[in-house]
Structure 1
Amino acid sequence: MKKLIISFLLAAFVLPMQANEGMWFLMHIERLNYRDMQKMGLQLTPEEIYSINHASLKDAIVQFNRGCTAEIISDSGLVLTNHHCGYSSIAELSTAENDYLTNGFWAGNQGEELKPKKLSVRFFVRMDDVSKRILNLVNDTMTEAEREATINREIAKIEQENNEGGKFTVSVKSFYQGNEFYYFVYQDYNDVRLVGTPPASIGKFGGDTDNWEWPRHTGDFSLFRVYADKDGNPAEYSKDNVPLKPKYHLTTSIKGFEENDFAMIMGYPGRTNRWMPSGGIEQNVKYAYPAWVEASKTSMDVMKKYMDKDQQVKLDYASSYASTANYWKNRQGMIDALTQHKTAESKRKDEQAFQKWASKKENKKYADVMSVINNYYSKTNENSRHNNYIGLLLRTRMASIPYRLGNDINYYLQQNEAKQAEMKPKLDAEIDDFYEGLYLPLEKDVLAAQLKLYSTKAKDIAPMVAQAASANNKTEAGWKNYIDTAFKNSIFETKEKVQAFMAAPNAAILKDDPLFQLSTDLMTRYRYKSEEEKQLDNDFEHAYRLMVEGIRLQNPDGKYYPDANSTLRLTYGKVISLPEDKRNDANKNYYTTLKGTVAKYQPGDDEFDMPKKLIDLYEKKDFGQYADKDCYLPVNFLTDNDITGGNSGSPVLNGKGELIGLAFDGNIEAMAGDVIFDDQLQRTINVDIRYVLFLIDKYAGASHIIDELTLAK
C-alpha cells in the first residue's frame, strides 16, 4: 500500500463546498450548481440535463443490473458500460469451449447478440420531494419502529399513486438520515443482450495488482443492447423484440481534451457515509473492516486454488472472485487511509464544536445527541466485528442455500395439493438457479475455512458453530471432517439429492437435515438482537437524525448534498493530474498511453498478458482516427469528480454533454472518499473513449458498431 502524502482537508460537519465535491440531485442543479458549472465550462442549460417533458441527458443514463451505471450511445439502444459491470453476464454466457470472458466476443449483427438469463437496465423518468407529506405524519414521541411503520405506510401510497398501473417502478428514498424524502420513478427493461466485449487481458488488464492504482492501462468496457416490443415498451425476451429507440442517446466525442477541461459524470453512486460520526469511523477501522478483509482473503485463497485448476470453475466463479477481491482491497485501503489521516480524531473535533452549539439553551433539543451516538458505538464495537465475520461467512453459497431453499420447501410442504401444484414449477426453477455453476469441492472448502475463521475470531458466535468448534478443537482438519459429514448426510449436498427429496418430501427429514440446521443457526444469529441492542438501535437512529438536522440548522446557508444511495446523481469537476509519477510515460500525469500498456506486458501472466494483435497495432502505430493530436493512443485519464461504487460505467461528459470516457475506478490515495472528500487527492480513473473506439474498430474489426454512433470529430 502506498504512503499517503497529503493530509485530508477535513471539515465534514459544515461541509464547505469545493467546486468538485458533491453528488447532486438533477432537479437541484439550476438552484445549487449551475453558475459554478458554467464558470468551469458547461455549455448546456439545466433543462438539457434534466427535463421531465423533453428529452435530456438524463434519458441516456441507465442503472445497469442494479449495481452499475451505463449510457445509451446510439439510436438503436446500444449500451456502454464497464467490462467489470458486464463481467457476471459475460461469464454466464461463456463456456470452456466458447470462453468469451477470456477471448472476447463481438456480434457481427443483431441476430448474433447473446441474451444472459437475468440482465436489466433502469431508466430514470422523474423525481419529486415528498418530505413534508411524510414528515407531517410523524413526531418525536414515536419510537423508531412506530415512525418507520408510519412512514412505510405512506411510502406504499406514494408508490402506488405514481406507478401508472404498474407501468413504472416507483421508489421512495430517505435522505439526510430521515430528514428528507423523495420519490423516484423508473422504467425497467429486462431484454438486454451482449453485443461485444474485449478479452479479459484488455478489459481487466492489471488485475488485482493495478486495482485502485494509478497509472492505469485498462480497457474496462463492454457493450450491450436494450430490446423492447414493437411499440418501444419493456418486454421479456422474445425473438420478436426489436432494438429500443431511446428518447436520447449520447454523442461520442473523439476530439480529445486537455488538462483543466470541464468534466461531469452522471450515474448511480451506491453508498457514501459523509455524515458518519467519529465513533462509526473508529469502529470500522478497528473492528468491522479488519474482519471483512480477513474473511474476504480467506474465501479468495480457497477459490483461487480451484479456479487455477479448472477453466470452467474459473468461469463459474470469476464474478464472485472479482467482487470479493475488489472489496478486499477497498476495505484495506480504507483502513490505511482513515488511520494515517486520523480522520476519526479530526471529526471528533468537529463534534465538540457541534456539542458546544447544542449546549446553548435555544438548542437543547440536540444537547444529548453526541453522547447517545458515542454510547451506541462503544457498546456495538465487538458486534460489528462479529457481524462482518458472519456476514462474509453467509456469502458462502452453501452457508445460505440450505436456509433459503429449506424454508421455501418447508412453506411448500404446508400447502394443500392444489397450491403445491401451482408452486412446484417456480420451486424447481429456484433449485436449478441455486445450484447452477456450483462446484462442490470448492464450496465445501470455503465453508470449512470460513467456519474455522469465524469460530476462532468472533465473540458470542452462533450456538451450533460453538458446539461444533468445541467438538473438533477448531482445527482445519476438524472443520473439514465436520463439513464432509454434514454434506454427506444432507439433502442439500447436490441438486440431484434435493430433487430426489422433492419426489417424496418429508418435513421431519428437512427439520433434522444437518446443513439446514447449520444454515438456520447462522442466519438466526446474524439477525438476532437483544432487547438492549434494540434499544441502542432505536436511540442511535433518533440521535443520528437529530445530529444531521442540527448540523444543517447550525449552518443554514450551507450547500448540502445527501449521501449516495443508488439514486441518479451528477458530479462535476475537471480533467486534472496527480503529482508527477515516474511510472507513467505520459508527458503529464493525467493520462496514460498504449505505450505504457505495452511496457507492462508480461507474457502468460494472469494480470499483465496482452493479445498479440494489440501489440502489433501498437508497433505499427495503427491508431486510425483515435490517436491524440500529439500522435499517441490515449488509454486512461483522471478527473477530480466525486464518485463511489455504483458509478462504475458512468459516462464522463465534456461541457457540451458529449461522451469523452467512462468512469471505472478511483485512486487508492483517496480511499477514504466514502467518508470524507479530499479536494487534493480525490481522482476518478476513466477509460478514454478513444481507446474504447480504437479497440472496437481497429482491434476487433467491428466497424459496424462504430457506424451506429453519433461522432463528434
Structure 2
Amino acid sequence: MFARARRWFLSGSCMVFALSGMPSYSQADEGMYLFNDVPRELLREKYDFEPSEEWLQHLQLSSVRFNSGGSGSFVSSNGLVLTNHHVASETLAKLSTEDRNLIEDGFLAKDFDEELKAPDLELNQLISIEDVTDRINEQITAGDDAEEAAKQRRAAIATIEKESLDQTGLRSDVVTLFGGAKYHLYRYKKYTDVRLVWAPETAAAFFGGDADNFEYPRYNLDATLMRVYEDGKPAKLKHFLEWNSEPAKEGDLVFVSGHPGRTQRIFTVEALEYLRDKRLPSVLDLLRRKEILLQQYGLEGKEAARRGRDELFGIQNARKAYTGMLAGLQDPQTFVAKRGRQDRLLAELKKSNENASLADAWAEVAAIQSEKAELLDRSVSLRSELFQIALRIVLLAEEDRKPNAERLPAYTESGRESLLAQLLSPAPIYDDLEMVKLADEVALLLENRGPEDTIVQEVLAGRSPKQVASDLVTKTKVKDVEFRQSLVDGGLDAVLASDDPMLRLARVIAPEYRRIDEISEQLSEREKQAYADITQATTMIEGTGGYPDATFTLRLAFGVISGYEERGERVDPTTNFAGAFTHSKEHEGQEDFDLPESWMNAKENIALDTQLNFVCTADIIGGNSGSPVVDRDGTLVGLIFDGNIQSLTSDYLYTDVQSRAVSVSGVAIPEALRSIYQAEGLADQLGN
C-alpha cells in the first residue's frame, strides 16, 4: 500500500531531497510518462497502439489527485470518485467517533443526504500543462552562488504561479523536471467539497493484514467511493471513466493514470549509497520507534486503539515498504548496472575537451551526500499535530510580511487557500494521543541534539519531556479552530502577542527550523544544478527521450496483465472471490484473515468466480495508490492499490521480471456493491 508508506515518510521530515530525474531509457514497460510527452512511437511499435489527443485529454481530466496522498478517478457524471480505502483512511478516521468507527466497520450512504463531508480533503483535477523553462532560466543570473540562485528561482516560480492564479483562478504549481532541466506549470481545478459515499470494512480492504501487505496473490477490496460537490450539489462531470464489465485477461495492454510520489532513478551511485548507509537506516529506526509508541498507546483501551489506528497503520506500512527498499539497495547487484552506466558516461566525458567539466557534477553530488548526512538528526520539526499547526501559523504570519516572490514556497499566494484549509480543519485532535506523540518527539529532540543544546534547553525549561507535553497540550488553545482563525486574521502582531504555550514553543523553534530549511534548500539547489548537468551530459551521450523522476504529478504508465515466477512456481496474474474464502479458511484462527461478517453472510449471493485482484507490469510507485487502470478504449478495468514485494526497488530501479502493480479488478467492485453491500443504486451509477 504505497500511498501510506510514502505519505508518512514525506510528511515526517523537512529534509527529504526529492529531485526530479533525467531521461531514462525504457526497458520492458518502464516509465512514468508526462501526459504532454507520451512515447507514441514506443507504444506503436511494441503494442500497435497510439493514443489520440482526445484519448489522453479524457483520461487526464478523469484523473484526480488527493492532497492527503494518493490518486483517484471520476467514475460517474454525478461526481463519484473512486480511490483506495487506504487512501481514504485518513478521512475515514477524521469522520469516525467513539460510537462510529468507519475504518473498521465501513460505511454506505443510502442517498445523497447521508453522504458525509470530509473536513479538509482537497482533490485536484489537472486542467493544463505549460512549459515555463525559459521564463525561469531567464531570471537565474547568480552564476555559481547557490543561495542567490535559489532565491531567484523561488521568486520566478512564485511570480509565475501568482500570475497564473490571478488569470485563471486555478491552483497553479510550477514543477521541476529532469533535475532542473525543465519547469512545467501545472494548473488544477480544486474540489474542496468532497463527501464519503461508500467504504468497505478494513477486514475486506486490508484482508491478510501486514502478512499479505506487498505480497501476491492478494484478495483485497481496497476501494472507496467519494463524491465531489459544487455549490452544495453533486458535481456534473463531462469527463469520467466508463466501466468495463469484462474481467482483465492475461496479455491485455493496460494504462495507469496516477500521481507517483517520488522516485530516485536519477540518483548517482554515491547518492544511492547515502540512502543505503545513512538515510534509510535512520528512517527505519524512527519508524520502529513510532510503531512501538503507538502500539503501546493502543493498549490503553478500545478508544485509544481507534484514535491511533490510522497513524499506526501508516507507520507499519512505511516500515515494511522501506525495509524492502533498503534490502534492494543492500543487494550488490543493484549497483552493478548503475555503476557501469555511470563509469561509461564519465569515461566518455573525459574524451571531450568541450564538455569534460560536466563530469564535476558527479563529484558535486557525492560531496552533497556528506553534508546531508550531517543534517539527519538535526530536525526540529516535531511530529505533533498541534505543534505543526502552531508552527505553520507562526511561519504564515512571518511570511505574510514579505513580498510574495520572497516567501517560502508553501506560503505563497498560489497555495494559500489550500494551506488555510489544512490549518483551519475541524478534524478532531485527541489530547491523550497528542501528549504521547509530543512527549516522544521532545525526548527524541533531546537524544539527537543533546542536553546542552540551546533549543533543547528552551523547550525543556527544567521539565521532563512528558511534563512539557502535558503542559503544552492541556493549556493550548490551538486545538480550537476559532482561535486559529483569530491568529490567521490578526497576523504577526496577534501571533507575537499570544501567550499560548504551543505558540510560544513554535516561536522558539521557528528560527532553527528556518535555518535548517535554508541549508536544505541550498543543498537542494546545488543538487538540482548538478543533476541538470548530469542530464545534459547523459542526453548528449545517449540521446534524448524518456521520462523524468516522479513528482506527485499526473503520469501515464503502461504494461500488460502478466503473472510471474517466484521460488520456482508460477504465480497466476488474477484471483477471485472464491480464493478469498479459501485463503481465509487456510489461515483460520489468524484475525487478519477473517473476512467481515457481511462477506460471510453474503457468500451464497456472490458470483465466486468473479475476478477480485490482478497484477500487471505497469511502472508504479507511492502516490499511485488509487490510480485507475484503463484498457485501450480508456474504460476502467482496475484500481491500483499496491505493488508486490519485488516492486519495492522501483524508487531507484525498475524491472518487470517479477515486479508487479497490484489492482482491485474493475468487475469486483460492482459485484461487491450488489451482492454484499446491497448497494444496487450505487453500482448502477458506476461509469454512467
The answer as to whether partners of 1:410 and 1:507 remain within 8 angstroms in 2 is no
**Greater relative contact order structure (CA < 8 Å, 6+ sep):** 2
Q: Map 1:387-398 onto structure 2 (within 5 A).
A: 387=378, 390=379, 394-398=382-386
1:58 is matched with 60
The answer as to whether partners of 1:590 and 1:638 remain within 8 angstroms in 2 is yes
Residues 697/125 of structure 1: CA separation in 2 closer, same or farther (3 Å cut)? same
Q: Map 1:106-121 onto structure 2 (within 5 A).
A: 106-121=108-123
In structure 1, give the amino acid aligned to 2:542: N
2:16 is matched with none
Which of 249, 269, 274 is the equivalent residue of 2:265? 274
Which of 349, 367, 377 is the equivalent residue of 1:375? 367
Mapped to 2, the partners of 1:130 and 1:276 lie a distance apart of: 24
Moved more, 166-175 or 652-661: 166-175
Q: Give yes or no for the alignment of 1:703 onto 2:680.
A: yes
Q: Give yes or no for the alignment of 1:225 onto 2:231.
A: no
The answer as to whether partners of 1:316 and 1:437 remain within 8 angstroms in 2 is no
Q: Give yes or no for the alignment of 1:550 onto 2:556.
A: no
2:3 is matched with none
The answer as to whether partners of 1:34 and 1:46 remain within 8 angstroms in 2 is no
Q: CA offsets, 1:127-174, max 9 Å, x none?
A: 122323433443572523433444444444544554474432222212
The answer as to whether partners of 2:67 and 2:121 remain within 8 angstroms in 1 is yes
Which of 643, 654, 657 is the equivalent residue of 2:634? 657
2:545 is matched with 559
1:400 is matched with 388
Mapped to 1, the partners of 2:317 and 2:290 lie a distance apart of: 13
Q: What is the deviation of 1:578? A: 2.5
Superposition RMSD in Å = 3.8
Please give the secondary structure, in 2, of the residue aligned with 1:571.
strand
Residues 34/157 of structure 1: CA separation in 2 closer, same or farther (3 Å cut)? farther
The answer as to whether partners of 1:663 and 1:685 remain within 8 angstroms in 2 is yes
Mapped to 1, the partners of 2:254 and 2:56 lie a distance apart of: 17
The answer as to whether partners of 1:591 and 1:635 remain within 8 angstroms in 2 is yes
Mapped to 1, the partners of 2:496 and 2:77 lie a distance apart of: 58
Please give the secondary structure, in 1, of the residue aligned with 2:558.
strand
Q: What is the deviation of 1:440? A: 2.8
Which of 630, 635, 648 is the equivalent residue of 1:671? 648
Q: CA offsets, 1:414-452, max 9 Å, x none?
A: xxxxxxxxxxxx9xx999958953333333233333443
Q: What is the deviation of 1:470? A: 12
The answer as to whether partners of 2:217 and 2:571 remain within 8 angstroms in 1 is no
Q: What is the deviation of 1:119? A: 2.1
Q: CA offsets, 1:654-681, max 9 Å, x none?
A: 2222211100111122212111112313
Q: Map 1:119-134 onto structure 2 (within 5 A).
A: 119-134=121-136
Which of 624, 642, 645 is the equivalent residue of 2:619? 642
Residues 136/516 of structure 1: CA separation in 2 closer, same or farther (3 Å cut)? closer
Residues 463/548 of structure 1: CA separation in 2 closer, same or farther (3 Å cut)? farther
Mapped to 2, the partners of 1:357 and 1:404 lie a distance apart of: 48
Which of 24, 29, 32 is the equivalent residue of 2:38? 29
In structure 2, give the amino acid aligned to 1:575: I
Mapped to 2, the partners of 1:353 and 1:460 lie a distance apart of: 49
Q: Map 1:43-82 onto structure 2 (within 5 A).
A: 45-51=51-57, 56-65=58-67, 67-82=69-84
In structure 2, give the amino acid aligned to 1:352: D
Q: What is the deviation of 1:350? A: 2.7
Moved more, 316-325 or 186-195: 316-325
The answer as to whether partners of 2:204 and 2:220 remain within 8 angstroms in 1 is yes
The answer as to whether partners of 1:258 and 1:575 remain within 8 angstroms in 2 is yes
Mapped to 1, the partners of 2:307 and 2:538 lie a distance apart of: 48
1:609 is matched with 594
The answer as to whether partners of 1:462 and 1:525 remain within 8 angstroms in 2 is no
2:660 is matched with 683
Q: Map 1:622-641 onto structure 2 (within 5 A).
A: 622-624=605-607, 632-641=609-618
Q: What is the deviation of 1:592? A: 2.3
Q: CA offsets, 1:597-644, max 9 Å, x none?
A: 2244367865333223312433x3x334xx5xxxx2322111111111
**Structure 2 regions of 5+ residues with no counterpart?**
1-20, 401-416, 488-492
**Structure 1 regions of 5+ residues with no counterpart?**
1-11, 230-240, 413-425, 473-477
Residues 93/317 of structure 1: CA separation in 2 closer, same or farther (3 Å cut)? same
Please give the secondary structure, in 1, of the residue aligned with 2:264.
coil
2:322 is matched with 331
The answer as to whether partners of 1:83 and 1:203 remain within 8 angstroms in 2 is yes
2:358 is matched with 366
Q: What is the deviation of 1:538? A: 5.3
The answer as to whether partners of 2:96 and 2:103 remain within 8 angstroms in 1 is yes
Q: What is the deviation of 1:376? A: 1.8
Please give the secondary structure, in 2, of the residue aligned with 1:528.
helix
1:592 is matched with 575
1:5 is matched with none
- The number of aligned residues is 643
In structure 2, give the amino acid aligned to 1:278: V
Moved more, 192-201 or 15-24: 15-24
Residues 524/31 of structure 1: CA separation in 2 closer, same or farther (3 Å cut)? same
Q: Map 1:57-206 onto structure 2 (within 5 A).
A: 57-65=59-67, 67-138=69-140, 141=143, 143-160=145-162, 162-163=164-165, 165-206=167-208
Q: What is the deviation of 1:29? A: 2.1
Q: What is the deviation of 1:708? A: 1.6
Q: Map 1:205-244 onto structure 2 (within 5 A).
A: 205-229=207-231, 241-244=232-235
The answer as to whether partners of 2:450 and 2:456 remain within 8 angstroms in 1 is no
In structure 1, give the amino acid aligned to 2:581: V
In structure 2, give the amino acid aligned to 1:617: A
Residues 459/378 of structure 1: CA separation in 2 closer, same or farther (3 Å cut)? farther
Residues 574/411 of structure 1: CA separation in 2 closer, same or farther (3 Å cut)? closer
Q: What is the deviation of 1:399? A: 4.7
Residues 29/202 of structure 1: CA separation in 2 closer, same or farther (3 Å cut)? same
Moved more, 165-174 or 680-689: 165-174
In structure 2, give the amino acid aligned to 1:649: G
Residues 497/445 of structure 1: CA separation in 2 closer, same or farther (3 Å cut)? farther
Mapped to 2, the partners of 1:497 and 1:115 lie a distance apart of: 20
Please give the secondary structure, in 2, of the residue aligned with 1:299.
helix
Which of 250, 255, 258 is the equivalent residue of 2:241? 250
Moved more, 119-128 or 450-459: 450-459
Q: What is the deviation of 1:517? A: 5.6
Residues 347/509 of structure 1: CA separation in 2 closer, same or farther (3 Å cut)? same
In structure 1, give the amino acid aligned to 2:564: L
2:288 is matched with 297
Q: Map 1:524-539 onto structure 2 (within 5 A).
A: 524-529=511-516, 539=526
In structure 2, give the amino acid aligned to 1:220: D
Residues 409/250 of structure 1: CA separation in 2 closer, same or farther (3 Å cut)? closer
The answer as to whether partners of 1:402 and 1:492 remain within 8 angstroms in 2 is no
Q: What is the deviation of 1:18? A: 1.8
Q: What is the deviation of 1:175? A: 0.7
Q: Highest CA radius of gyration, 1 or 2?
A: 1
| TM-score, normalisation: structure 2 | 0.83
Q: What is the deviation of 1:114? A: 1.5
Residues 605/120 of structure 1: CA separation in 2 closer, same or farther (3 Å cut)? farther
Q: CA offsets, 1:499-531, max 9 Å, x none?
A: 9x99xx9999967x7755655555544443599
Mapped to 2, the partners of 1:133 and 1:372 lie a distance apart of: 26
Please give the secondary structure, in 2, of the residue aligned with 1:361.
coil
Q: Map 1:462-473 onto structure 2 (within 5 A).
A: 463-465=454-456
Mapped to 2, the partners of 1:531 and 1:409 lie a distance apart of: 18
In structure 1, give the amino acid aligned to 2:676: Y
Q: CA offsets, 1:23-64, max 9 Å, x none?
A: 11122226554414643xx4x63223224xxxx222211113
